[in-house]
Amino acid sequence: MISLKIFKRKKIFKKGGLHIDPNVYWDYLLLSMAAVVILSFTWAIYLFLVIRQSPPSTPYPSMKAYETEKEKINQALEYFRARARKSAEIITSPSPVADPS
**Which residues of the chain fall short of a pLDDT of 70?**
1-2, 4-5, 13-20, 55-67, 97-101
Looking at residue 46, its pLDDT comes to 95
Looking at residue 42, its pLDDT comes to 98
Q: Does residue 73 fall inside a structural domain?
A: yes
Non-local (6+) Cβ contacts of 55 within 8 A are 65, 66
Containing domain of residue 70, as a range? Answer: 60-91
Looking at residue 71, its pLDDT comes to 84
Q: Does residue 4 fall inside a structural domain?
A: no
Q: Does residue 11 fall inside a structural domain?
A: no
Looking at residue 14, its pLDDT comes to 67
CA distance 93 to 85: 12
Q: How close are the terminal C-alpha atoms of the chain, in Å?
A: 129
Residues 27 and 46 in one domain: yes
Q: Does residue 81 fall inside a structural domain?
A: yes
Q: What are phi and psi of 47, to 5 degrees?
A: -60, -40
Looking at residue 6, its pLDDT comes to 72
Residues 69 and 48 in one domain: no
Looking at residue 23, its pLDDT comes to 83
Residues 50 and 67 in one domain: no
Looking at residue 101, its pLDDT comes to 63
Q: Does residue 38 fall inside a structural domain?
A: yes
Non-local (6+) Cβ contacts of 66 within 8 A are 55
In the chain, the number of structural domains is: 2
Residues 25 and 49 in one domain: yes
- For 61, the 3-state DSSP assignment is coil
Q: Does residue 5 fall inside a structural domain?
A: no
Looking at residue 63, its pLDDT comes to 57
